[in-house]
Chains A and B, each alone.
Chain A
Amino acid sequence: MDYPIVPCGDSAVTILLGNEISPAVNRLVFAAFSALQRDLVSGVREIVPTYGTLCVHYDPERIGYSQLCAWIRSVSDADGGGVRSQGKLIRIPVCYGGEYGPDLVHVAEHAGLSPEDVIRRHSQREYLVYMLGFLPGFAYLGEMDERIACPRLAAPRTHIQAGSVGIAGQQTGIYPLSSPGGWQLIGRTPETLFSLKEKEASFLLSAGDRVCFFPITPEEYREREARL
């Protein structure tokens, strides 16, 4: 691959694959990520995909800057954008509104729609996981229907339950952990996005995956929660 490579200090480089949020650029990122992971060399600590870049963290004592760049250039991502590059499709149940989505009505009013319309527009499309960041297991999803975009809360909440599904501007996302936050909460999923059992961590989503939301009732929410 012959994308530009720029240093991030002495222990990381950024590979620039594109400078826009688009499925096409995401496919390039995902293809390059998969190709590099397949051909990993010693000294590479980890590779972090983002919207249009890969950040390659390395140990300069085991691989120098020029060797690292040479390795990246030598790896072929010839299947870039091919079907093989697509991630998993993950269906996520969401209980919209009520106690789980206290801001659904506000989001609906802001959009001039009914709450049912907001739910329909939010759950009737496939989202791409562009990248993870912010918190363990937090996925940056795109694209949300512009009609249901809504500014953040003026005063952030001090405590938001894990699994809460929110809207902030043009973005939608799921809080993987309980945390403070200013997103408009429209629902909650009983699924676990980030868990630590014993010593192993598991993450529901990875960059390159696709996500669909589907509405469930509060009874179904509690049933699923009890099963987990």
Chain B
Amino acid sequence: MIRILDPGLLTTVQDGGRYGYQRFGVPVCGAMDAQALAMANLLVGNKPDEGALEITALGPTIRFETENIFALAGADFSPTRNGVPLKTGHAWLAHPGDILECGAAKGGFRGYIAFSGGLNVPFLMESKSTCLSARFGGFHGRALQKNDLIEFSAPQYWLKGLSRREILPTYDLSAPVRVVLGPQADAFSGEGIETFFSAGYRVGHSSDRMGCRLEGPEICLKQGVSPNILSDGIAMGSIQVPNGQPIVMMADRQTTGGYVKLGCVITADLPLMAQRRPGDTVRFQQVTVEEAQRLLADSRRKLCNLQDDLEHNGNW
């Protein structure tokens, strides 16, 4: 069991997301950076999409009331245990009374704290993810607050090669974020699309788990075309352009929306979007669906290799 001494800016329970209920209007939610969630989970011997704490910008302070193995992954929150610095991307055994303190995010914006065996929160509609907009899921449907107590499901005291369970973070936040065009790319002028792929866009301060609001040169529609459409479905990473400025729809997005979408960020690059801080600049590059799927297969293969290394050598 852990006790939240200080919740930080926004700490929620998230897993791989809640699929299967979008046709009833239930948002998918889940981790913003599924790859970092997977790394944190693999480090502690969990399945990659197990529920963990997603921490944002300024991390929480947590006291372990009982023993368990934990790991942090994603951005570096300069974590300390009882005042002693800990490495991000490494598994540790915490003893009762240990205090894990996180600072401000460096080299990204979000991190994950995974606990061996997972957190004991209800499995609602096949997911542990918190749905903030409808206030259910995760821990009582809300962000964590001071003095919240969360139980472990199946804590562990030992894992193979514990001292060597390490994954080095590999974000390249200077790399362009790749995008597949559609479904309404033909609503935009050629010039508008060129602007989007050549200009840099700044991440706005009102960005949140629903969407990354970008600011930059206006993206023009074809003459006489309205930015409003009959609502259709929205995938994670979809780039809505309601008023010339793009919004990348993220984990807590609504299931449907009524604005034109220029394209969609490829799954392999969603972590790069999730880790952008307000004020950061992002550039986009066009790829085909087939290329996007190859890149996703590559990144999943890397994750599988990491898992193999952790389980068989414990010295990656």
Which A residues form the contact surface with B (CB < 8 A)? 6-12, 14, 19-21, 45-55, 57, 60-61, 64-66, 131-138, 140, 176-177, 194, 196, 199-201, 203, 206-207
Taking a contact as CB atoms under 8 Å apart, the answer to whether A132 and B237 are in contact is: no
- The SS class assigned to the B binding surface is mixed
Taking a contact as CB atoms under 8 Å apart, the answer to whether A135 and B124 are in contact is: no
Chain B, residues 253-280, CB within 8 Å of chain A (1/0): the string is 0111000010111110000000000000
Given A135-B134, A201-B21, A21 contacting B230 (CB threshold 8 A): yes
The distance from the CB of B165 to the nearest CB of chain A, in whole angstroms, is 25
Contact of A136 among B19, B25, B267, B289 (CB under 8 A): B25
A65 / chain B contacts, CB cutoff of 8 Å: 289-290, 293
Chain B, residues 98-136, CB within 8 Å of chain A (1/0): the string is 000000000000000000000000111100000101111
Taking a contact as CB atoms under 8 Å apart, the answer to whether A133 and B134 are in contact is: no
Taking a contact as CB atoms under 8 Å apart, the answer to whether A131 and B256 are in contact is: yes
Q: Does B88 contact A (CB under 8 A)?
A: no
Given A61-B300, A134-B25, A199-B123, A7 contacting B133 (CB threshold 8 A): no
Taking a contact as CB atoms under 8 Å apart, the answer to whether B289 and A132 are in contact is: no
Compute how far the CA of A72 lies from the CA of B265 in the bound complex, rounded to whole angstroms: 23
Compute how far the CA of A65 lies from the CA of B235 in the bound complex, rounded to whole angstroms: 15
Taking a contact as CB atoms under 8 Å apart, the answer to whether A51 and B231 are in contact is: yes
Q: Does B182 contact A (CB under 8 A)?
A: yes
The total number of A-B Cβ pairs within 8 Å is 151
B20 / chain A contacts, CB cutoff of 8 Å: 45-46
A132 / chain B contacts, CB cutoff of 8 Å: 23-25, 255
Chain B, residues 287-309, CB within 8 Å of chain A (1/0): the string is 00110110011001000000000
B233 / chain A contacts, CB cutoff of 8 Å: 8, 12, 14, 48, 50, 53-55, 57
Chain B, residues 175-215, CB within 8 Å of chain A (1/0): the string is 00000111100000000000000000000000000000000
